[in-house]
Amino acid sequence: MQLETMRYESDGDLIRLTLNRPQALNAVNFQGAVELHRAAQAIHDDAAARAVIIRGAGRAFCAGIDLKELAAGNTPNAYFEHWDRALRLLELSDKLVLCAMHGYALGGGLQLPLACDIRIATPDCLIGLPAAREGFIPGLGTYRLPRYIGLGRSKRMALSGENVDGREAQRIGLVDYLVDAAHFDAEVEALTQHYLSISSEGARQTKLLLSACQDYPHGQFFEEYLRRQTIATASPDHREALAAYREGRPPDYRRG
């Protein structure tokens, strides 16, 4: 896929999506929102991929919406629709989606990780939602952030626009892994390969159930669980897991 504001690379099992406007700290302009929507749709529709790693090129993960474009009046309201539809596609895809943050993860640069499954950050990464200070709403970060850190902390972050660093983000449950900035690439790659190796059909169905856990009443959730459990146990991955157990070896889900 040829994109101007990001790189989309796939080797079959793994998709690498890299925000690529380093001169603007990967701030997302209107074209970037449209391209993220395209990329997220491709990720969602890819039947071969099992995992995704999202990163930012240069000194930062993402500084959020392109404020220069916004201030110039060149950001149509369609920006927000493309952006949040893209995040929902990532959330509803059956891939395990990791996001690695460094430098800055502000505004959309936090909204995007919140739609992913696993968040990785450096200890000194600055993370926050400054939109309210700039006169608008921080997207569906308002929907997702309380699910990770609770309503009280979410109100403080979103209303004050205060940033937290990676260490504090991990302490409050916003970040899953802290990695050393000096070994960022190697540690992110190791975590990516770990999640790729465990991305069985069962793991991917588990992701989808967890994403829906606060949306369904118990009875509906139970029926959805039974449906997805049937998918998982009928899959080649489940047969591979049982064969690996019998043979005393780790499962290789890429065989399926």
Q: Is the pLDDT of residue 50 over 80?
A: yes
pLDDT tens, residue by residue, 131-181: 999 899 999 999 999 999 999 999 999 999 999 999 999 999 999 999 999
Under the banding of pLDDT at 50, 70 and 90, the label for residue 254 is: confident
pLDDT tens, residue by residue, 30-43: 999 999 999 999 99
Give the E-state strand segments of the chain in sequence order: 6-10, 14-19, 51-56, 96-101, 104-106, 118-121, 126-128, 164-165, 177-178
Q: Is the pLDDT of residue 1 over 90?
A: no
Tokens matching residue 86: 């893209």
The pTM of the full predicted model, rounded to 2 decimals, is 0.94
The pLDDT of residue 215 is 87
In a 10 Å sphere around its CB, with 0-12 CB exposed, 13-18 middle and 19+ buried, how is residue 196 labelled? buried
Domains of the chain: 6-197 (3.90.226.10), 201-255 (1.10.12)
Neighbouring C-alpha atoms within 13 Å toward the C-beta of 69: 16
If you average pLDDT over residues 44-53, what whole number do you get? 97
The pLDDT of residue 255 is 61
Q: Is the torsion defined by CA of 191, 50, 83, 2 positive or negative?
A: positive
Average pLDDT, the chain: 96
Under the banding of pLDDT at 50, 70 and 90, the label for residue 239 is: very high
Q: Is the pLDDT of residue 256 over 60?
A: no
pLDDT tens, residue by residue, 218-231: 999 999 999 999 99
Whole-angstrom distance, CA of residue 213 vs CA of residue 216? 6
Whole-angstrom distance, CA of residue 150 vs CA of residue 173? 9
Tokens matching residue 95: 């891939």
Rama region for 102: left / alpha / beta (φ>0; ψ in -120 to 50; rest): beta
pLDDT tens, residue by residue, 53-100: 999 999 999 999 999 999 999 999 999 999 999 999 999 999 999 999
pLDDT tens, residue by residue, 189-202: 999 999 999 999 99
How far is residue 113 CA from its own chain's centroid?
4
Under the banding of pLDDT at 50, 70 and 90, the label for residue 107 is: very high
Can you list the alpha helix ranges (DSSP code H) found in 124-235? 141-149, 151-160, 166-171, 184-197, 201-211, 218-233
Are the beta carbons of 110 and 121 closer than 8 angstroms?
no
Are the beta carbons of 53 and 17 closer than 8 angstroms?
yes
